[in-house]
Structure formats: C-alpha cells, structure tokens
C-alpha cells in the first residue's frame, strides 16, 4: 500500500505539486481528540520556507479539514485535510519533462509510471506533499502531548556546522517548538545560516543531520520481529525527501564500541526501571524501554542546484545537459524538521493504539 501507512491508524497521502489540491486521509483516530486549527497553522509555518534559506515560492498552505471532525474534535471516522495549491507556476518545470534532474525522482518516476506521471514540479514526488503530513502531524502531536509524550527535532549538523547535543529535553523541546531555525545553540545556528547562505550564493546546496528526541513514552511500544520501533519509524522516515540514513541511539558509532561500553545498565528509580545510560536510544529488542527515544536522519543536499548538469534526453535517448531554473531550496534541512516531527508522531500514536 504505497501511499497508505500505518497499522491501526492509517494515513493516505495524495496529490501533485501543481494539481488543484493535495491532502491526506487519516483513519482510525480515537474519537474525541481536539483538533486545533491554530496549532495546525503553527506547525505548517515551521515547514514553510523562511527568508533567503529556502525557496522563494510562497506557500500559504490554506488547509481545510473536510471530514472526521465535528465541533472541534475528531469523530473517529476518516479525517481528510485538503491544501490548495495557490501559487503553482507549472511553466518553470515543464521543460524538464524529458531531461531528468540528477538526484531527483524524475528518471525513476518516468520508468515506474511509464511516462504517464504528472511532470510538473516533481508531480506526486514533490516535497510539497509533506505539507499535509505536517498538518495531520499537528493533530498527532497534540494527542501525544495529552498523554505526556513530547517530540522535538533539531539540526544536529548542517553545512559543516554542528549544533550542541540535546540537554534538558523539557527545555529543549519548549524552545524548539517555536524556533523557526531549529538549533539549540544560537551561536552555532548563526554560523549554520551563514554557511548555508554561502552555499546558496555559490549556486550549490547543503545537507545535514536531524536529531529527534521523544520523551514521556511508555515502555512496550513496538513488537518483534518485524514491527520494531526502529523498523517502523525508519520505514516512514525514508519517505521524507532526501533522507538517506537513519540511526538510533549511538547509531553507527556503536560499531566502534565494546559490549561493556554499549550496554545500558538498569536500575530502579522512584519505583520505576530506568537505564543509567542511553546508548540504545530508548529501544531494546525493537521495543521502547521508557528512556527517551533518540534517532538521527541524514538529509542529503538538495539535488536542485544552479550549475548545469549532465543528464539524458529520454525521448531521443541521447546525452543532454540541464540547467534547473525555477525556485529551489539551497538547504531543506530546517524545513524537514517539521516533517520528521510529524511522521514520528504518526508512528508513535499508531504503536500506542496497538498496545
């Protein structure tokens, strides 16, 4: 089920970058959850391109909840959110239809859909489709908050600059919730912005690493063998455009540790089992252990760059060169943060329902 995800709660995503509307349908939500349109708008604003770091395309994201909500609360029947595409300028992309952009889905989409896909602006593959994910994610995040569960994501690295690691999660998450540029150390943040600007001025693009923490989670989420927390989360995290890797806890650094260093010893604390360290990122055997869930994704540099690139012409089956006009982000890492929060919230709400 390519565009539907989830087990007990399902999310179905539809639309194209330059179609009239894009949206998603969420089924299986508990009845009675509050749906706060102001909070949805806030989360959408965190995903929106900001100033000179991002694409100049204005995306006001005028969303409508057309089903599944009655008097401000979920009904328990499918919730559909629609977002209109008001600022589409299809002309910019039409010349790319036959010359796939390197690093994009143009070529693979052409093969998969045998030339029938909507070629405008990436069509169904467009990052624009993450807007409904973020809108629905606001509902999921609010529902988790009601249960004492908080999700936050910061830019761990970007354009060669590192942020400080997570510290006090309650404080860090409060800060990130309203941070347009989600870094914890402001000095690092300024240097990152400067580095991104420099990349942009060079007509190039930058990647980075997003780190997410979730706290307040109960132990017991996830299941052997295939629906591990790590497996289910990574499945959907790789749907965030440009994500090419996912790691939990110490991640790839665990390759260099010994078991005596990597194991997280348990102890009782106020009648509750806790781990003394968190090298495993809150997951043992694929199931949450009650410690903060910690993971990172790597976001590759945006493939749309100003320089001419070598490609092929799919009609003439010959080599070609392409120069990408239109609007594009030098770095989508800041915006991807809102998407990472959203899909994480979805997975956790679904896993909680399965307990």
Smallest distance, its own copies to C-beta of residue 178, A: 25
Hey, CA dihedral for 21, 26, 30, 33, is it positive or negative?
negative
Torsion sign across C-alpha atoms 173, 176, 177, 182: negative
Does residue 270 belong to the site contacting its own copies (CB under 8 A)?
no
Distance of closest approach, residue 163 Cβ to its own copies, in angstroms: 12
Task: Give CA–CA dist 65/228, Å, rounded.
Answer: 32
- Binders of its own copies among residues 108 to 167 (CB under 8 A) are 108-109, 111-119, 123-125, 129, 157-158, 160
Question: Do residues 349 and 30 touch, judged by C-beta distance below 8 A?
Answer: no
Min dist CB 187 to its own copies, Å, is 20
Interaction between residue 102 and its own copies (CB under 8 A): yes
Residue identified by tokens 């420099």 is 198
Instruction: Return the residue of 46, 149, 179, 246 that touches its own copies, per CB under 8 A.
Output: 246
CA atoms of 20 and 22, how far apart (whole Å): 7
Bridge partners of residue 354, in order along the sequence: none
341, 133 Cβ separation under 8 angstroms:
no
Candidate residues 169, 235, 326, 327; the one interacting with its own copies per rule CB under 8 A: 235
Report in angstroms how near the CB of residue 29 gets to its own copies at its nearest: 10
Q: Which stretch binds its own copies (CB under 8 A): 34-42, 55-63, 145-153, 293-301?
A: 293-301
Q: Which stretch binds its own copies (CB under 8 A): 39-47, 54-62, 171-179, 226-234?
A: 226-234
Pick from 179, 184, 196, 199 the residue near its own copies by CB under 8 A: 199
Question: Residue 335 CB, nearest distance to its own copies (Å)?
Answer: 16
**Looking at 13, 46, 152, 217, which residue binds its own copies (CB under 8 A)?**
13
The residues near 242 (Cβ < 8 Å, ≥ 6 apart) are 207, 299, 300, 301, 302, 303, 332, 336
Instruction: Candidates 74, 141, 153, 173: give the one binding its own copies (CB under 8 A).
Output: 74
Structure tokens at 144: 């988790």
DSSP, collapsed to helix, strand or coil, labels residue 20 as: coil
Is residue 307 at the binding interface for its own copies, with CB under 8 A as the rule?
yes
State which of positions 29-58 bind its own copies (CB under 8 A).
31-32
How many CB atoms within 10 Å of residue 4?
13
Query: Among residues 35, 151, 209, 348, which is the contact residue for its own copies, using CB under 8 A?
Result: 209
């Amino acid at each position: 089920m390519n565009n539907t995800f989830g087990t007990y709660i399902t999310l179905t995503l539809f639309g194209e970058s330059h179609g009239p509307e894009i949206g998603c349908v969420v089924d299986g939500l508990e009845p009675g959850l509050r749906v706060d349109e102001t909070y949805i708008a806030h989360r959408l604003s965190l995903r929106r391109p900001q100033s000179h770091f991002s694409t100049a395309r204005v995306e006001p994201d005028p969303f409508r909840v057309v089903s599944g909500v009655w008097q401000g609360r979920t009904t328990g029947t499918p919730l559909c959110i629609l977002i209109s595409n008001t600022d589409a300028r299809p002309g910019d992309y039409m010349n790319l239809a036959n010359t796939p952009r390197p690093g994009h889905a143009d070529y693979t989409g052409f093969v998969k859909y045998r030339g029938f896909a909507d070629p405008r602006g990436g069509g169904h593959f467009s990052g624009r489709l993450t807007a409904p994910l973020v809108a629905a994610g606001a509902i999921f995040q609010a529902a988790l908050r009601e249960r004492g569960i908080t999700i936050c994501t910061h830019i761990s690295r970007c354009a060669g600059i590192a942020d400080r690691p997570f510290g006090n999660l309650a404080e860090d998450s409060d800060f990130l919730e309203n941070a347009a540029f989600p870094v914890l150390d402001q000095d690092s943040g300024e240097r990152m912005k400067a580095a991104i600007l420099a990349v942009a001025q060079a007509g190039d693009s930058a990647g980075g690493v997003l780190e997410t923490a979730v706290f307040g989670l109960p132990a017991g989420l996830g299941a052997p063998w295939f629906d591990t927390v790590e497996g289910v989360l990574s499945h959907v995290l790789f749907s965030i455009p440009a994500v090419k890797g996912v790691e939990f806890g110490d991640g790839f650094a665990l390759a260099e540790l010994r078991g005596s260093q990597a194991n997280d010893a348990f102890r009782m604390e106020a009648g509750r089992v806790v781990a003394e360290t968190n090298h495993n990122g809150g997951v043992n055997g694929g199931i949450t252990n009650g410690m903060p869930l910690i993971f990172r994704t790597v976001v590759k540099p945006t493939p749309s760059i100003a320089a001419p690139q070598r490609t092929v012409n799919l009609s003439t089956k010959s080599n070609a060169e392409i120069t990408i006009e239109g609007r594009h982000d030098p770095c989508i890492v800041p915006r991807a943060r809102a998407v990472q929060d959203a899909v994480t919230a979805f997975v956790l709400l679904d896993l909680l329902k399965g307990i």
